[in-house]
Structure 1
């Protein structure tokens, strides 16, 4: 995803990027499709794009709020991200909500509202992460 944006920013085709990095065209296509890349491939890409390897891997999991597609999204999609730009933060919040729901169910059976609300928000969070994954905003 970020590889495609960087490639397009440099006005390179996939074939040109494959030649510059020394990897196969199929590897470039897989990386752009969001599949995991080997360390060697990431090093080659970072070298060609002249960015640090850590920056390349970090950028892949962060939300790009400056892209025009993101700006066109409805307000409630942006609202439910709670200002988070990293996918890992959203996954952690999902597991936290699940834990709260389970603990509330096991320990506080008198509070009938906490468990369903925690599970509902965990479910909505997982759907939001899936939606953003599908759109390629990370």
Structure 2
């Protein structure tokens, strides 16, 4: 059975995450990144940048992709992340977005609404105090 090596790598990452990371941590990380994108859109130069950041953060939740190597310049052992090929990252980002995008955007909108409500109530309180003076 023939298969695409980038698809295989993306699916292996999903299995690693499922086996080694608490599901709540993955959900929290994805929701946080979507919220960050909504509140600070200039932080990500493009949708592609956001997708790569999303995969980078989610895959860093486990230490399985980390190797250690000796750095002769510093005389210390350093941590090195094994990166995926951009095609595999795009495929994994597609998977993550298919699962979480709708919920993440809904949470971000709820955050926006909460902030707007708080700002409106502060403005109303400020106006009421101004009227007293």
Scaled by the length of structure 2, the TM-score of the pair is 0.26
Is the strand fraction higher in 1 or 2?
2
TM-score of the aligned structures, taking structure 1 as reference length = 0.25
Return the structure number with greater relative CO, CA threshold 8 A, min gap 6.
2
Q: Which structure shows the higher helix fraction?
A: 2
